[in-house]
Amino acid sequence: MNRLQSIMEFQNWQTTMAAASDPNRPFITVCGGTGCRVYGSEKVWEAFRTELVRQGANATLDYDVKVTGCHGFCERGPLVVIRPQGIFYSHVKAGDVPEIVSETILGNKIVERLLYVDPLSGAKIEHEQDVPFYKHQKRLILDQNGNLDPAQIDEYIVCGGYASLTKVLTSWAPEQVISAVKASGLRGRGGAGFSTGVKWELCCENVKKAGMGYIICNSDEGDPGAYMDRSVMEGNPHSVIEGMIIGAYAMGIHQGFVYIRAEYPLAVKNLRIAIRQAEAAGLLGKDILGSGFDFSLNVRLGAGAFVCGEETALMASIEGRIGEPHPRPPYPAEAGLWGKPTNINNVKTWAAVPIIINKGADWYAQIGTEKSKGTLIFSVVGKINNTGLVEVPMGVSLRQLIFDIGGGIPKGKAFKAAQIGGPSGGCLPAEHLDVPMDYESLSSLGAIVGSGGLVVADEDTCMVDFARYFMNFTQEESCGKCVPCRIGTKAMLATLERICAGDGKPSDIDYLLELAQMVKNSSLCGLGQTAPNPVLTTIRYFREEYEAHIFDKTCPAKVCKGLITYSIISENCNGCMVCLRECTSNAITGAKREVHSINSELCSKCGVCKEVCKFDAVAVN
């Protein structure tokens, strides 16, 4: 396409495209997010394309098959939604497609067996908007994820994309943009929750003095269990790009970087396509839409270092060095990338900016709580029925998230804890299920909003092992620059490993608490300062589990290998030999139709016998 030379040209283009697109035109959306692709959604959309032709649906109806970004309800993938009605089919296989085309597309009938069944009422639900998982959400940033083909800039523009940018370029002074972002109450969605408007203002002042600066989009989403940044980037990359251009305009900056994890190949691909399209259209580059404002955007791939999510380490990495953080001050707003004033925001923060400009700061500030405005995206994962991405207004309770939207715990097990905010966050127990999800409430309980990762643990999860898991993660990811983090996390991990192995000492809990305070108070960057949180919160809320490991030498959840033994329940064993054959340690003896037995000396506690036994004859004690 030709580069658009003026805002007028953009608006004409937008009007022409909007007029040409019929809002009632039927189309099929197939989720093309990473999760659904793993389930095989690629085969599903290919099947739709061939089947529509084969059954002649397009001769009469002119159907479109659209591969979109992540719809969010990953548990039920591959997801198919037939729009505009919003008919929702889940767990769709390529083999189901001929029936969907003949019944629903051509025959206007519902394929009942593909509908979502509400586990509580048993009712079959036809429409996406009525599915409880979606019904209780408020989707702003993820709003268009299920509608747009992320590889088509036209689609983003038809549904109002880049209108906020043109609004700003036409009639807003940079200061006005900053005031609006400030008034909206938007806080950094990377987790720390600093006021975005204030951050922009500080950076802007420094840019004026230095004569230049940079903006960065932090898309180095390293928290295990969090994947919302990836989904936004995969499903709606233009919303992030638009937010960045607006921010750059507000702060008077002409160059930006997106630092994104290489582990997210689809997000990287869609982002690169989107940047190329925006450049071709004249929305990036020199003299954007004839406004005289220049802004170019580059992509940098992370190379697999969790610490690079920390802003100073991230900048070191963009500069081509190892990702070691440096002490702040100076803050990036004063001396950031290559020593120049730099503003770093998370993917979701940037994506929220066009919404604020479009709908108004007052409108945005109405959503959420007094101090935490807008919406938050959580990835609700772990021992939960409805794994997926959830966008809710700030202030909804943890209970609503886990039970109303998340559908509760699988197999009727009991909820034990929710780990919020990844390895930097904390574990909250059932007694705090009614905590409102906002920055202040969570931090008062020892957790953080953080990345928005929310991992649910049930009665089978050992909280000591859970803490050990996180400590193992942070210990491995510690960059090693400062001693408290490098050695402190190692010492904490060694203690936790000892407790899990059954060698815990009575003094270990106090020792862990002492180490935790030291690491928290004296580490150089956020990684170390928050690393002890999972240990601190599990001791605070699940101290009895630590004590059981240390004093009773038992693991109540029957997880820790050093504290459990496997044995055969002789009444249930019919001597089928399956476990015996699967055991790699040769720890099981017995003969056909004779009760087997497990030699605990040889048993490696891998659990394969329990997994393969069809007669429930393996006990763990």
Q: Which residues bind another protein (CB under 8 A)?
A: 34-35, 37-39, 74-75, 77, 221-227, 230, 262-264, 300-306, 317-323, 338, 379, 381-383, 387-388, 419, 422, 453, 455, 457, 461, 466, 469-470, 473, 477, 479, 582, 584, 604, 606-608, 611-612
Shortest Cβ 537–another protein spacing (Å): 14
* SS3 readout for 10-22: HHHHHHHHHHHCC
Residue 488: CB minimum distance to another protein, A = 20
- Closer to another protein by Cβ: residue 337 or 357: 337
CB of 390 to another protein, least distance (A): 13
Instruction: Round to whole Å and give the CA distance between 314 and 302.
Output: 9
DSSP-H helix ranges across 478-522: 483-500, 508-522
The least distance separating another protein from the CB of residue 548, rounded to whole angstroms, comes to: 19
Helix or strand holding residue 526 (H, E): helix 526-530
Q: Give whichever of 372 and 461 is closer to another protein, judged by the CB atom.
A: 461
Task: List beta partners, residue 219.
Answer: 260
Token pair recorded at residue 242: 């638009």
Closest CB to another protein among residues 286, 581: 581
ω into 78 cis (within 30 of 0): yes
The answer to whether residues 422 and 379 touch, using CB atoms and an 8 Å cutoff, is no
For the CB of residue 337, give the shortest distance to another protein in the complex, in Å: 9
Instruction: Quote the least distance from Cβ 470 to another protein, whole Å.
Output: 8
CB 244 within 8 A of CB 299: no
Residue 596 C-beta: closest distance to another protein, Å: 18
In whole angstroms, the minimum distance from the beta carbon of 74 to another protein comes to 4
In whole angstroms, give the CA distance from residue 322 to residue 305.
9
Q: Which is nearer to another protein, 305 or 353 (CB)?
A: 305
Contacts of 85 (CB under 8 A, 6+ apart): 127
Closest CB 164 distance from another protein, rounded Å: 28
Instruction: Tell me the residue type at 535.
Output: V
Q: Where are the beta strands (DSSP E) in 276-425?
A: 296-302, 342-346, 375-382, 388-393, 415-420
Closest approach of another protein to the CB of residue 524, in Å: 16
Task: Name the residue with tokens 């906002």.
Answer: 438
DSSP string, 199-267: HHHHHHHHHHHHS--EEEEEE---STT--HHHHHHHH-HHHHHHHHHHHHHHHT--EEEEEEETT-HHH
Partners of 597 in beta bridges: 589
Nearer to another protein by Cβ, of 336 and 422: the residue is 422
Tokens of 158: 């038809």
Residues in the chain: 621
The residue among 159 and 606 lying less far from another protein, judged by its C-beta, is 606
Q: Name the one residue in this structure whose structure tokens are 């109002």.
A: 160
DSSP 86: T
**Which CB, 92 or 157, lies closer to another protein?**
92
Nearer to another protein among residue 317 and residue 345 (C-beta):
317
Of 201 and 220, CB closest to another protein: 220
| Sequence-ordered list of residues with C-beta below 8 angstroms from that of 487, at least 6 positions apart, any chain | none
For another protein, the closer of residues 274 and 608 by Cβ is 608
